[in-house]
Amino acid sequence: MTLPGTLIIARHHESEWNKKGVWTGTRDAHLTEYGFSKSNEMGALLKETRIDNAFASMQVRSIETLSCMLNVLEFYHVPTEHTHALDERDYGDYTGKNKWEMKEMLGEEVFDHMRRDWDCPIPNGETLKMVYERVVPFYINKVVPLLQAGKNVLIVSHGNALRALMLYVESIPNEEARNLEMLFGAVVLYQVDAEGKMEKKEVRKVESEVNA
């Protein structure tokens, strides 16, 4: 059975730390001027879509992106909630370090394994598996009941948190996680079944260039 509500997901747009090419993780960094502009464009992609509830992480770049999207749509009274369950992956000791310098230091194979794979540890940080273990229960317990009630739900979060969610929603095997990406500027709309699994997917996007 296809649930009557629509799940909508979007990644925050360019932050000040994205622009510098450094890992932000759980740190706060505001959107750049470009990030604000593109967040407005992302909101415009939903101009024909009703939004009943909205969620973001506790991090300011996610909250700013959500605010831009709702403001451009003039959806000023949509109930919104911020939750740690949707926070970005904790990059631990790598937080604040330049990604491309780290790639040179670690080597491409180790770098890609650490960034992309399912259960690769970071010193004092999280694996994608650990992110999955907080994102998916939140989705099942909080979001799916809203979809069952016919609500359209917008989630604005981060690259790894959304990759974790997409692994569940799209029933993607863990070993294929490295091939999964949630692009900047993309807004994805899902129709899902009673378990919150994808039955139909639509991707809308704005042109974006982000150093991340």
Strands 80-82, 53-56: pairing is parallel
Q: Among the options 12, 13, 82, 158, which is catalytic?
A: 12
Task: Check if 88 is active-site.
Answer: yes
Total Cβ atoms within 10 A of residue 170: 15
* SS3 of residue 106 by DSSP: helix
Total Cβ atoms within 10 A of residue 8: 22
As given in the structure block, the two tokens for residue 81 are 């909630």
143-163 as b/e: b if 16+ CB within 10 A: bbebbeeebbbbbbbbbbbbb
Total Cβ atoms within 10 A of residue 133: 13
Q: Among the options 41, 64, 88, 126, which is catalytic?
A: 88
Whole-angstrom Cα distance, residue 157 to residue 13? 10
Whole-angstrom Cα distance, residue 181 to residue 185? 12
Task: Check if 84 is active-site.
Answer: no
Whole-angstrom Cα distance, residue 182 to residue 34? 19
* SS3 of residue 91 by DSSP: coil
Rounded to 5°, the CA angle 17-20-21 comes to: 90
Which active-site residues does the annotation give?
Answer: 12, 88
